[in-house]
Amino acid sequence: MSSIHPLEIPKWGMTMDEGTLVGWLVAEGSEVSAGDAVASVESSKIAGDLEAVESGILRRVLAQEGETHPVGTLVGVIADADVSDSEVQDYIDARVGAAPAPDDSGKPEETGPAESVGASEDGSRDLAPTTSTKGTSSTPAASAASAGGSGDVDDVRIPERFRGRDESPVPATPHASRLAERMGIMLAGITPTARGGRVSVQDVQKAIAAEGGHVAFGNDRPRVGRVGVRADDSQVAATPIARRLAAEHGVNLHEIRPSGRADRVTRSDVLGHVARFSSGGAAESLSAGDPAPSASGKQENPVHREPMSAMRKVIAGRLQESYQQSPHFRVTTHAQIDALLAIRAEVNEHRDDARLTVNDLVLAAAAQALVAVPGINAQYDSATETIMRFEHVDLSVAVSTDEGLITPIVRGADQMKVTEISAEVTDLATRAKAGTLTPEEFQGGTFTVSNLGMFGISDFDAIINPPQVAILAVGGGSREFVPDDDGAPVLRTLLPLTLSSDHRVIDGAMAARYCSELKRLLETPSLIFA
């Protein structure tokens, strides 16, 4: 039986309400199998792949690269080969409504954020012919006005051999296909360089320029960067999201001061640069080189405003909600970890692979302590006012990235050896910083551990990650004198441990029992390896 299958913006977690289509991985008309990645979609936290749930042919692409749509929006249709085009269209009309009839008045069609046709760099005013070699009725000049946004129609020079319509589909990026259709450009003779052997906008531009023509492809958005910088920025260190945003806004990465780790340009860096240099933008700043004078005649302290990133907004909203709705209380203890440090050194001496860290041992002990005090290993559903208690420990580990805090999950940590936990944390943290985690790898979890000891922090309070009901804050170890069994002072290494708990689910006695069990395990490290 023939069938039609939708491709929709997925929902990756409770807080996701929209997604951005980063790009299509297969061309319209291509065969796909169930499980194949057909498009890249980006949420506020991470980019993931949209997979085909059934095999078939990608019959229709309904969303373009760079577009943002609510969760559940139909962005494509997969159907069997024996499904007619009319059936596919009927399905789409039933989902999103029939497309409006074409306007014969000649009014330019409004377009989304596709590449536009801008003014010619040399100021020439050559019109593209309004007839094609294929005898079509297309008007490339009018199409240029529609795509450009400025209303100019005299900014295109298309060589004769590129005019017309392709008789059969040519693999191309959505932007290139759309512009070729509007401007009457044949893609068949253009050498493709894009992923999957597709023709890109840049390929079209280069091919036309090589024949003495000109098409000023660009983005509908105004260019906000300083025009003087035109150097190749492909080697500038930047996060994938930052690089995409810079391209969308016409900003050269060389212009942007990096703030990320290893001097990488981050999303916030790009957005801040755009806000500072955009004329009439929503967020203007006082330039560091041109501070405004005060009433007293003194120069005011320059201020730079930048919008919050989408990830930072999500983090802020969730943690504010947690702190306001969850009655936090905290229990603190200190574990003497000299024996733990000694056994760690002994184990690492005989390891040829990755070495165990103190954090690895703390995570293993935290998981085992949850088995002993299972009431901590829980979530709270505020909508139904129910407590969900879990049989196994899915341990969330706080990892700081250039785009914000993320908590990849070591699932079933209570059933893993220390070495297995160490390897899993290393892998998850590496991919978290690279932005390649899948949603199921950071959504959920039953308990969180946040360690700032490596930054020289002695102790701190952490905010609970909802819907979890507790989080462990681990500070840095310090050498201090403590009394031994005889009351004599001895020098020991103390590790501060602070448990933040939701008083709706956890009482003081339960929190104290957990901290005591965790302290016992860390001070008797052989139990961790048992």
User: Which tokens in the block code for residue 291?
Assistant: 């501070």
Q: Which of 266, 294, 289, 260 is nearest to 277 (CA)?
A: 289
Q: Where are the beta strands (DSSP E) in 369-488?
A: 378-381, 386-389, 395-397, 399-401, 404-406, 409-410, 447-451, 470-474, 478-483
Tell me the helices (H) and strands (E) count for the chain, helix number first. Answer: 11, 23
User: Which tokens in the block code for residue 262?
Assistant: 């290893």
Q: Taking the CB of residue 242, how many other CB atoms lie within 10 A of it?
A: 27
- Catalytic residue status for 328: no
Q: Where are the beta strands (DSSP E) in 163-273?
A: 214-215, 217-219
Q: What is the dihedral angle through the alpha carbons of 369, 370, 371, 377, rounded to the nearest 10 degrees?
A: 180
User: Which tokens in the block code for residue 378?
Assistant: 């829980």
Q: What distance in Å separates the CA atoms of residue 133 and residue 306, rounded to the nearest whole number?
A: 51
Exposure string for 397-410, b = 16+ CB within 10 A, e = fewer: bbbebbbbebbbbb
Q: Which of 284, 344, 322 is nearest to 495 (CA)?
A: 344
Return the amino acid letter for 201: V
First CA to last CA distance, the chain = 57
Helix (H/G/I), strand (E/B), else coil: 121: coil
* Cα 468 off chain centre by: 23
Return the amino acid letter for 130: T
User: Which tokens in the block code for residue 108?
Assistant: 């330019």
Q: What distance in Å separates the CA atoms of residue 282 and residue 303, rounded to the nearest whole number?
A: 15
163: which DSSP letter?
Answer: B
Select which of 214, 304, 392, 503 is catalytic: 503
> Where do the H-state alpha helices sit in 211-309?
240-248, 267-277
Q: Which of 124, 134, 112 is nearest to 156 (CA)?
A: 124
Residues 497, 332: contact at Cβ < 8 Å?
yes
| Cβ-based neighbours of 296, under 8 Å, separated by 6 or more | none
Q: What are phi and psi of 239, to 5 degrees?
A: -70, 155
* Cα 333 off chain centre by: 37
User: Which residues are tagged catalytic?
Assistant: 503
